[in-house]
Chains A and B, each alone.
Chain A
Amino acid sequence: MKNIIVKANAGALTNFEVLDLLNSRGASKDTTRVIASETVSRSEYKVYDYLMETAASTQTRDSVTKFSDKCKGFKLAKAEILNIINLRPSSDVELTPILEKPDEREIDIEGILALVQELLPPLPTVEAHKENEQEETEDGEQPNMETSV
């Protein structure tokens, strides 16, 4: 296999963008995961499952783009903005490990947290995830409702 790396880094992707790509390949539509296996492999499903438990699963392209734009005023590195989008910190203590040397830079922590609160949807809750698991066994319908055969 004689391959050449043209560009090792041709652009960073947020978790949201990767989830979006997987969805566009049909990852979300097929709960049995058999039909879509032509386009979505088992390992891609593992990535999908991971991302669905993170902030990416409730984000929209619009909210992520708006957030990135508004971050420009906070003097953050691109990698830090990406990390904030992926993790969606909601408190000081969740935000500081993402920032490099926060004490030496004058970073408006409160401002960033307010922007996160305003623009990025909240994390998926654990209860919601459990509900989804129950729904999947009934093909997306509530356990108490009539199931179509």
Chain B
Amino acid sequence: MFCLSELEDTVRVPPDLLKLPLEVAIKKVLQKLFLDKVFSLTFFLLSIGLCLFIYDIKSAEGGFVLPGDGAPTYKVVFIIVVFRPFVGEVIAARFKESDSNGLRLTLGFFEDIYVPAPLIPRPNRCEPDPCNRNQMRWVWIFEEQEYIIDDSYQINFRVENISYPPVPTERAEDAKLFAPMVITGAIDDDGLGPVSWWEGCSERNNEDDDT
């Protein structure tokens, strides 16, 4: 779910950083620009993902000081580590919250993973959560056993889709925080969902083979 991306940018190094070695100064400026940002250039119909940290600086040219500016500007080619899973990838996550639309999962550093109701295994039911008045909880019913989806176990999901919604120009006061990158996940397949569902499964299969 992680990869390297190579980018080129013009970087202005403020004078107070110039006492540092050039590479360190440039890295500092870049970190501020990219850290924690979901970089998406819709112009290229290509999206980078969640930028995590600078991996390396490949080259830095220039250092010219533009008229009226006190700081030198460099053309920098650099490589960053990004979080960008591929469709079909199976990822271990934790439960964050759920409502009547489905589940929301989290990786800690990334929290916009949604499993919509159709991708939760069926038959299932959605009921008010007895432990949490504001939430709904989902329960999978299989062979007369009930399997609750909650925060007790790691949940494995498969990436179905990644979208990069455009930045809204206006937002309602109480709207959810804008998520620049949203992953849609599925847990409706063998081996997916809370890992407790599948523990001991291979032993059960072996028993079936023996009978």
Check A97 against B158 for contact (C-beta < 8 Å). Answer: yes
State the CA gap A54–B79 with chains docked (Å). Answer: 25
Interface of B is mostly: strand
State the CA gap A15–B89 with chains docked (Å). Answer: 13
State the CA gap A58–B7 with chains docked (Å). Answer: 32
Select one of A5, A46, A49, A97 contacting B44, CB under 8 A: A5
Which residues of chain B from 111 to 138 have any CB-CB distance to chain A below 8 Å in the complex?
A: none
The tally of residues in B whose CB lies under 8 Å from a CB in A reads 47
Check A96 against B190 for contact (C-beta < 8 Å). Answer: yes
Check B33 against A10 for contact (C-beta < 8 Å). Answer: no
The tally of residues in A whose CB lies under 8 Å from a CB in B reads 42
Check B48 against A5 for contact (C-beta < 8 Å). Answer: yes
Select one of B7, B86, B107 contacting A5, CB under 8 A: B7
Q: Can you report 25 A-B residue pairs in the complex whose CB atoms are below 8 A from each other?
A: A3-B41, A4-B7, A6-B8, A8-B46, A8-B48, A10-B4, A11-B4, A12-B2, A21-B81, A25-B53, A41-B35, A41-B36, A41-B53, A47-B52, A50-B107, A86-B1, A86-B91, A91-B201, A93-B205, A95-B191, A97-B90, A97-B190, A97-B192, A98-B90, A100-B88
